[in-house]
């Protein structure tokens, strides 16, 4: 990590988010709730309305729970602009990518963002849950201003954000982003070394894969495994239900990244997980995983 000793960093008021799926929309909502001006880039023009509806529904749930008033929810949504043009991020001071967990897609996106975002002091950040930040940073001309900011799903609810600096990241930038996460967004930040999976997924994924292997071997059913961990270990959600919630494709992708880096068998995705992903059984988002979900 580079240290410059220069902590004079501009205040972040204009944020860009690339991607408006479950994570991207949640990150946009968190930033807009903090009073920031947010531009969200979706993959195609026809996704603009769907992205806005996703954020609006989340805000509606907050209103129903008494966490926001109707007027506050409207104000939050009013601070979010959705577009299908990546060039609309040119004036952003912080851009957070939240596209699918695919290294090729993310590295290509960082190359494009590096050319589009005009402010030389702007920070390019990734919400990746598994890809080392160094690989993304090296595809830009400003690796010292590239960091990881890994939110957890659902982003408007869960308080933790992993902040990751590569060996090339300026420490002043990393510290500035960490303060932004805590002081502006109101989240709790932990620093993670720049290694595949960071802190949380390096611990979580082997646990989830063990549960899948139990099902695969016939040792126990998903219901029994999940009940055991809920009632016996006070986990709020069992591991197979959590796999469904995260997405089987996401769990498999993270596992492959971990196995590629560390070559340890505990990170290898079980055949059952691979077959389910190949069959489109991705969990809650597809309607079927280890459990069935109503449409």
pLDDT in tens, 165-216: 999 999 999 999 999 999 999 999 999 999 999 999 999 999 999 999 999 9
- Enumerate the H helices of 102-199 as residue ranges: 103-116, 133-137, 171-179
d(CA 18, CA 24): 7
- Tell me the average pLDDT of the chain: 95
The answer to whether 150 is a known catalytic residue is: yes
pLDDT tens-digit readout, 207-245: 999 999 999 999 999 999 999 999 999 999 999 999 999
Given 58, 166, 201, 253, the catalytic residue: 201
CATH code reported for the domain at 14-192: 3.40.50.720
The pTM is what?
0.90
The answer to whether 201 is a known catalytic residue is: yes
Q: CA-CA distances (angstroms) from residue 112 to 51, 130, 167?
A: 22, 21, 22
Is pLDDT at 43 greater than 80 in this prediction? yes
pLDDT value for 143:
98
Helix, strand, coil shares of the chain as percentages rounded to 5?
50, 15, 35
Given 97, 126, 130, 150, the catalytic residue: 150
Residues of the chain within CATH 1.10.1040.10 domain(s) are 202-278
Residues of the chain within CATH 3.40.50.720 domain(s) are 14-192
9 pLDDT band (50/70/90 cuts)? confident
Q: CA-CA distances (angstroms) from residue 184 to 26, 78, 111, 149, 233?
A: 16, 19, 28, 14, 34
* Burial grade of 232 (CB within 10 A; 0-12, 13-18, 19 or more): exposed
pLDDT value for 211:
98
pLDDT tens-digit readout, 135-167: 999 999 999 999 999 999 899 999 999 999 999
The answer to whether 162 is a known catalytic residue is: yes
pLDDT tens-digit readout, 64-122: 999 999 999 999 999 999 999 999 999 999 999 999 999 999 999 999 999 999 999 99
Class of domain 202-278: mainly alpha
């Amino acid at each position: 990590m580079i240290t410059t000793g220069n902590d004079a960093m501009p205040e972040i008021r204009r944020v860009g988010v690339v991607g408006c799926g479950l994570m991207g929309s949640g990150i946009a909502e968190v930033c807009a709730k903090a009073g920031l001006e947010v531009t969200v880039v979706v993959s195609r023009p026809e996704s603009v309305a769907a992205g806005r509806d996703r954020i609006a529904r989340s805000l509606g749930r907050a209103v129903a729970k008494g966490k926001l008033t109707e007027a506050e929810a409207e104000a939050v949504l009013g601070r979010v602009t959705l577009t299908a043009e990546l060039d609309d991020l040119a004036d952003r001071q912080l851009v957070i990518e939240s596209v699918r967990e695919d290294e090729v897609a993310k590295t290509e996106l960082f190359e494009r963002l590096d050319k589009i975002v005009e402010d030389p002091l702007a920070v390019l950040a990734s919400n990746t849950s598994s890809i080392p930040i160094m690989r993304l940073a090296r595809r830009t001309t400003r690796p010292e201003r590239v960091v990881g900011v890994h939110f957890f799903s659902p982003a408007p609810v869960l308080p933790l954000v992993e902040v990751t600096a590569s060996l090339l990241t300026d420490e002043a930038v990393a510290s500035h982003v960490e303060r932004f996460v805590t002081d502006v967004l109101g989240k709790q930040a932990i620093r993670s070394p720049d290694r595949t999976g960071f802190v949380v997924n390096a611990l979580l994924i082997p646990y989830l894969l063990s549960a899948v292997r139990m099902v695969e071997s016939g040792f126990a059913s998903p219901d029994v495994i999940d009940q055991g961990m809920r009632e016996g270990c006070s986990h709020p959600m069992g591991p197979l239900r959590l796999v469904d919630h995260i997405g089987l494709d996401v769990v498999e992708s993270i596992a492959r990244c971990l196995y590629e880096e560390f070559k340890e068998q505990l990170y290898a995705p079980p055949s059952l997980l691979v077959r389910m992903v190949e069959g489109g059984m991705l969990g809650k988002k597809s309607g079927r995983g280890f459990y069935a979900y109503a449409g």
